[in-house]
Amino acid sequence: MEFAAASQSLGALREAAYRLIGQATCQIDSVDGVHRCRLQAARSGDADLRARFLDLVTDENLREKLAAETGPTRNLILALAFGALATAADASAG
Amino acid sequence: MSHFQPSTAFEASDGELELLPFRFERLDGDQYLVSNLVGDMTFLSGPDLRRLAALDLAPDDALYALAFEKLLLRRKGQRAPLQLLAMRQRSRSSFLRTPTQLHILVVTLRCEHSCPYCQVSRRSTDRDRYDMSFETAARAVEVALSSPSPHIKLEFQGGEPLLNFDLIRAVVPFAREKAEAAGKTLDFVITSNLALLNDDVLAFCKTHDIVLSTSLDGPEDLHNRNRPRPGGDSHQLAVEGIRRAQATLGKERVGALMTTTEASLGRVEEIVDEYVRLGLDGIFLRPLSPYGFAVKTKQYAKYDSRLWLEFYERGLRYILRLNREGTYFPEFYATLLARRMLSDIPTGYVDLRSPAGIGLGALVYNYDGKVFASDEGRMLAEMGDRTFELGDLATDDYASIILSDKLIDLVGRSLTQCAPQCSSCAFEPHCGADPVYHHATQTDPVGIKPLSGFCARQKGIMTLLVDLLENSPEDAAVLRRWAA
């Protein structure tokens, strides 16, 4: 399967390939602006493999988008949650 | 001075919509399970998930209300959702403030049973070699009481700990005295097959408020097949022991654990019935673990996660039916997970923690004074793998054990918040790192999660529980009662 590197991140392909471990292996080569994914099913006759991989890539693309959009908010929440503990630790150390 | 925000802080914001951090897992087809930062879950269709991610929402649509209710969304400028998520996250992680509540003393490795699935690789001879000495036990108590937790649980395990009951008899009052001096409270548990239980032991347990935890694998034929001993009377002795302990100590002071072997798979209803018949306070449907004789005798390899999940689901549905019909009888693993899902109470169960519960949740002191990060780590050592050995009571103290490079490395490497696939998993807020399991099965404390039986079981059980909570009101009421 081929994906245009301009519109498809390599990270999402790698994440999707990771989730396929056990069902298939996926070798990814990036050449001349194209990510080429060679899928090898763990069991012969796995007809749905391509569709499943595309679903996983779709999901990983969405996860990438969410992570980029909500990362700063996540950091803010974690700072609100645990920042006071760091202050307390600093105070007791000082 | 008022600690309330001014009224303007509670006014509706008219800022733009903004996503809050959330995660999702694809279920069958185009159906998703979505969870917010602290694990509140809901099912969404693919189109709804994509509409949410694109903020294609209007105040009059149901998804808009659901997204706000589940803290998946806020309006820019709204502070309350962030503060609420922060407070809940802090509460869920607060187990870190009272590290190492559980301390396990392996008072002997000897046992008179010869169970083929024994996960601790028991020994049958040589008292001098495999029994813990009082000096070692006393040192273990001192180390346990120097952990920061104000409340310590000491658990006596084996082998069969009643084979070294004289040591328990000496250690309990010693520990009580030391705990009083340290201003800490103590609980005691003896984990025993009860075959050697007698009036003397029961009287001691009564006097010192000791809980008994035993093994019961189900009906007589199944239990005796799983747990052979000379005379073939393990079940009879366990049942007699449970009844005597219930009569002397009270029903709430004796519990039992079962282990699922291949022979158990088709018999979950009978197993549950046996527990109900004996008046036990619930059941923990447990798979075999990949340690000790369970691996050597190939018991562990006889069924996979899929078969175990089928066993578990059938058992849980049967137990829920009993509860709906009026018998209060919890399944303890579902209870633990339901509590994680329905509240922000920090979990005491070390396998459902990240940072992992090894060392931080429990320490194990072996009969020879070696200290391990968990009971399973001790089991691995008996198989020749000392990855989770943290020190020796002869030379180490609590600080040197807990702050050892080895423990810090193992805990740091296995954080689910960072581990591949876990970090984006919708179940992560309720799950845990299990570095010992993944080391044992994949020689890697992180583990490749698509190949992990632990991961498959966790996802399977949690998906089942969310489905019951969302779509089966009567079962949800039972689960809520267990979790309360």
Domain ranges of chain A: 2-93
Q: Which residues contact B29 (CB under 8 A, 6 or more apart)?
A: none
Residues of B contacting chain A (CB within 8 angstroms): 18-24, 26, 37, 49-50, 53, 82-83, 85-87, 89-90, 93, 420-421, 424, 448, 450-451
Output the pLDDT for position B204: 98
- Interchain proximity B450–A18, CB inside 8 Å: yes
Quick count: other Cβ atoms within 10 Å of Cβ B1?
Answer: 2
What residues of chain A lie within 8 A of the CB of B424, using their CB?
15, 63, 67
Quick count: other Cβ atoms within 10 Å of Cβ A28?
Answer: 15
Output the pLDDT for position B199: 96
Output the pLDDT for position B116: 75
Using the predicted structure, report yes or no on whether residue A91 has a pLDDT greater than 70. Answer: no
What residue type is B202 in one-letter code?
A: L
The Cα–Cα gap between B90 and B79 comes to 17
| CATH 3.30.70.20, applies to B99-402 | no
The Cα–Cα gap between B105 and B155 comes to 6
What residue type is B299 in one-letter code?
A: Q
B127-139: burial string, b at 16+ Cβ within 10 Å, e else: eeebbbeeebbbb
Compare all CA atoms of chain A with the CA of B86 and give the residue at the minimum distance: A81
Name the residue with higher pLDDT: A33 or A47. Answer: A33
Encoding tokens for residue B270? Answer: 């009978």
Tens digit of each residue's pLDDT (9 = 90 or more) over B174-225 = 999 999 999 999 999 999 999 999 999 999 999 999 999 999 999 999 999 9
Q: Give me the percent of chain B exceeding a pLDDT of 90.
A: 81
3-state SS track over B377-416: HHHHHHCCCCCCEEEECCCCCHHHHHCCHHHHHHHHHCCC
Say which DSSP state B422 is in: G
Output the pLDDT for position B113: 82
- Interchain proximity B22–A70, CB inside 8 Å: yes
Output the pLDDT for position B112: 80
Mind telling me how many Å the CA of A91 is from chain B's nearest CA? 17
What residues of chain B lie within 8 A of the CB of A80, using their CB?
82-83, 86
pTM of the model: 0.91
Output the pLDDT for position B300: 75
Output the pLDDT for position B64: 96
Name the pLDDT band for A94 (thresholds 50, 70, 90).
low
- Interchain proximity B82–A77, CB inside 8 Å: yes
Dihedral sign of CA atoms B26, B28, B30, B32 in order: negative
ipTM score assigned to the predicted complex:
0.90
Looking at the DSSP assignment, which residues form a beta bridge with residue B123?
B110
Residue intervals of chain B classified under CATH 3.20.20.70 are 99-402
How deeply is B289 buried, as exposed, middle or buried, from its count of CB atoms within 10 A (0-12, 13-18, 19+)? buried
Backbone angles phi, psi at B42, to 5 degrees: -155, 155
Q: Give the residue ranges of chain B where pLDDT is below 70.
A: 1-2, 9-13, 119-127
- Interchain proximity A55–B26, CB inside 8 Å: yes
